[in-house]
Structure 1
Amino acid sequence: MTTAIEASEGLIELVRGNDDIASHADGCDIETVAAAERELGVAFPPSYRRMIEEFGTWDIAGEEFLGVYQTPAFGQKLLGSVTETMDARGQYGMPFELIVVMFDGMGGLVVLDASKADQEGEYPVLVWNPGIADRQSMERLGDNFGSFALLLCQRALTRWR
């Protein structure tokens, strides 16, 4: 059985090995990751943190991940997961423990649920739709970010090729 971190390492190889249909930023240093976690008030799970450290933000075969990044136009503002999470909390009342990592393409947000950390510190991957308060009714996409993201990207890559 592959761990979440091993799955993230596999995803890194997948992105780097398919640079014709993948793109990524330069990654985030430890200080930037810590600043993002402070702003969110919640820590990233290890497999998601690994991807942010490596790429910051990335996409492959049409699957786009928010990650954490900055641009010259926005200066020190942390974009991606940080901005989208803070916006969803403020505009739609998204629960504090959720971290937005993707859009599901149907109006929902793919989130990590920090209230349900496992023994490795990984969070389940869920779909949150604005207005949903009951987590039991949220669709569960995976047990952890690394495994979810690797499988999603492998499938997308197979369809693309």
Structure 2
Amino acid sequence: MNAIEASELVIGLVRENGDIANHADGCDIITMTAAERALGVALPPSYRQLIEEFGTWDVAGEEFLGVYRTPAMGQKLLGSVAETLDACSQYGMPSDFVVVMFDGMGGLVVLDSSQVDEEGEYPVLVWNPGIVDRQSMERLGNDFGHFALSLCQRAVARWRESS
């Protein structure tokens, strides 16, 4: 299974678990293009697919930033774009990282666009302010699709078992 196929399974998982999942209305090509321009990097295909489908989403307590706008914030790109730009300007995060989640312990779950694989995917890492050596960063996955699928499957299973 490749990263895109894993993202397709995430889409199905979110839709099948609507009682414990939320999502926005998706992200159109104009917004996606603006997001990539603001970030200065193309989003990897598996992450892009989920953003196109949901914009932003959560399932069983796992929240993914995505890309979206709200009427209150106007044209400002929220989610991954806002958090990435803030982390770069406020904490010195490398500009080739894209923030996709918070790790719940003060770190940021990021995609490292400096390490592109043959499918255009980026590895998923945890970045903490002050970390400069990428080799010392925790690696959560080789691509976003498989990372998100594994995280969502575990979260749904835990939620269902505890209910």
Map of 2:72 onto structure 1: 73
1:102-135 residue CA offsets vs partner (Å, 9 max, x unmatched) = 0000000000000000000000000000010110
Normalising by structure 1, what TM-score? Answer: 0.99
Q: Which residue does 1:59 correspond to in 2? A: 58
Whole-angstrom distance in 2 between the partners of 1:138 and 1:114 = 15
Superposed, 1:92-131 pairs within 5 Å as: 92-131=91-130
Residue identity opposite 1:120 in structure 2: E
TM-score, normalised on structure 2?
0.98
* Counterparts of 2:138 and 2:32, CA distance in 1: 28
**RMSD of the TM alignment (CA)?**
0.3
Q: Number of matched residues?
A: 160
1:151 offset after TM fit, Å?
A: 0.4
Deviation at residue 144 of structure 1 after TM alignment? 0.1
Question: Shift in Å at residue 84 of structure 1?
Answer: 0.1
Stretches of structure 2 that go unaligned for 5 or more consecutive residues are none
* Ranges of 4+ aligned residues in structure 1 off by more than 6 Å: none
Spell out, residue by residue over 1:73-95, the C-alpha distance to the aligned partner (whole angstroms, 9 max, x if none). 10010000000000000000000
C-alpha separation between the residues in 1 aligned to 2:39 and 2:150?
27
Cross-structure match for 2:159: 160
- Separation in 1 of the partners of 2:93 and 2:42? 17
